[in-house]
């Protein structure tokens, strides 16, 4: 009994919070839940984006309920979140933008014209706020608002439309993703 009391005192003094569960993806810890508007989302899966054998970023996908259908996730008109944590100092705004442009080309089968203004607005955010190792980006979709962009937990801007969200999430989850292993990880496979 004495040991139990000492354990409770130690927890109280150290301020440990066991209710904040996390999952480690690569070297990055992701919370198992994420609040998008009034909806609590759950970590569906995650993975590491590699380019030329370099870990570029770690990504986690948060959904209202677990699923393994990437196309359905991309097209779903429901709260969702993609969290990206930059893990390489070699990543900068310019190469991130170029890589993302390529991703949009793959996601839309080369037909970016209907959403090009939205893509341009989105990409300009990464020039306005230079990318650095350790940055955390949340791309939170809310049906009546669009994709809300957060950098290091600070709101940056919103890009409206399910069409934009479908193309953006399709970069990682569509039928022609930028990284098949990353897609499998996001889908929890």
Contacts of 51 by beta carbon, 8 Å cutoff, 6+ apart = 99
Domains detected in the chain: 21-186 (3.50.70.10)
- Using the predicted structure, report yes or no on whether residue 24 has a pLDDT greater than 70: yes
pLDDT at 20: 60
Q: The pTM is what?
A: 0.86
pLDDT (tens digit per residue) in 32-62: 999 999 999 999 999 999 888 888 999 999 9
Does residue 11 have a pLDDT over 80?
Answer: no
Residue 70 has pLDDT above 50, yes or no: yes
Asked if 63 contacts 80 with a C-beta cutoff of 8 angstroms, the reply is yes
The mean per-residue pLDDT over the stretch 161-168 comes to 98
Confidence of residue 17 (pLDDT cuts 50, 70, 90): very low
């Amino acid at each position: 009994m004495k040991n139990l009391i000492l354990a409770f005192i130690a927890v109280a003094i150290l301020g440990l919070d066991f209710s904040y569960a996390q999952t480690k993806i690569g070297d990055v810890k992701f919370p198992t839940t994420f609040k998008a508007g009034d909806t609590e989302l759950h970590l569906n899966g995650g993975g590491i984006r590699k380019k030329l054998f370099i870990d570029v970023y770690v990504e986690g996908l948060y959904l209202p309920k677990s699923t393994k259908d990437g196309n359905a996730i991309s097209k779903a008109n429901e709260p969702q979140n993609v969290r990206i944590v930059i893990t390489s100092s070699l990543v900068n705004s310019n190469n991130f933008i170029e890589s993302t442009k390529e991703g949009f080309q793959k996601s839309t089968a080369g037909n970016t014209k209907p959403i090009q203004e939205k893509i341009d607005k989105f990409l300009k955010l990464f020039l306005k706020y230079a990318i650095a190792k350790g940055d955390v980006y949340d791309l939170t979709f809310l049906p009546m608002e669009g994709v809300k962009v957060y950098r290091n937990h600070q709101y940056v801007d919103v890009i409206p439309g399910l069409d934009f969200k479908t193309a953006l999430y399709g970069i990682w989850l569509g039928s022609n993703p930028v990284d098949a292993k990353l897609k499998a990880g996001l889908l929890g496979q």
